[in-house]
Chain A
């Protein structure tokens, strides 16, 4: 019973943040602020939905001692680690590419990288 409530809560938090990330992509004015919404909110939401899967699989393993569920929990944990690392690095690469391409941050108050590249 408590387990079900925990799973539902994790899934709800994950869906909430995923939705906010997509809304942020649609709402923000330029590529850098969209990247903010994408990287942070979507990664955090996906971590929570996967956490629900890990909780469910681990609890079922301790109830039934079926090795398949232990495998499910372990692999989901590996997938979460991979997702967190690759998302942050890909965001870094996209931001760098956008700046090299010459996209200026909209409404920016300061841009030190531009000054660094063209002294």
Chain B
């Protein structure tokens, strides 16, 4: 039931976002669109309640987590991404690379946290998630420039991949 409510709310909100500007109820919507939004929310919520938010159903409904997620994407994540792009730009021009695949301890317990961390790693400095160890949630990360001495270590902490902020701790607060 909880997952049905979460899925219906999410799909209804997305439909209303995409049809904003169609009429004058609440300044933005027409009555037909509001009716169809309710129908879409019910249908999608019933059809896909087992896929969206499979475990930890309460966490999806917490609006504080959504706000934290938006703040994380707009703030630290965007700055890390800009830094990563300047780094990649230099490497495209100079062609100086030293690639390798290392093992990174993620420390995440849920699927959602692992997904968010893997996506963050893929879009930030010189790293690209290649694979995952299903049992321990460890990530295998391809680095475009392995620092000297790092290749000898068995595994490294996720914190060491990010230069400016402690992104794994923020991801943990959003998704766990």
Size bracket, chain B contacts: 35 or more
Contact with A along B122-148 (1 / 0, CB 8 A): 110010111101000000101010100
Q: Contact between A92 and B88 (Cβ–Cβ < 8 Å)?
A: no
The answer on a CB contact under 8 Å between B21 and A105 is no
Per-position contact with A for B96-109: 1 when CB-CB < 8 Å, else 0?
Answer: 01111111000000
* Max count, chain A CB within 10 A of own CB: residue among B118, B119, B130, B131: B130
Indicate whether A40 sits within 8 Å of B123 (C-beta atoms), given known contacts A23-B92, A70-B21, A110-B146. yes
A88 with B122, Cβ < 8 A, contacts A17-B89, A40-B85, A95-B129 known: yes
* A contacts, CB < 8 Å to B: 17, 20, 23-24, 27-30, 32-33, 35-37, 39-41, 43-44, 67-68, 70-71, 74-75, 78, 84-85, 88-89, 91-92, 95-96, 99, 105-114, 116
On B, residues with C-beta under 8 Å from A are 17-18, 20-21, 28, 81-82, 84-85, 88-89, 91-93, 95, 97-103, 118-119, 122-123, 126, 128-131, 133, 140, 142, 144, 146, 151, 155
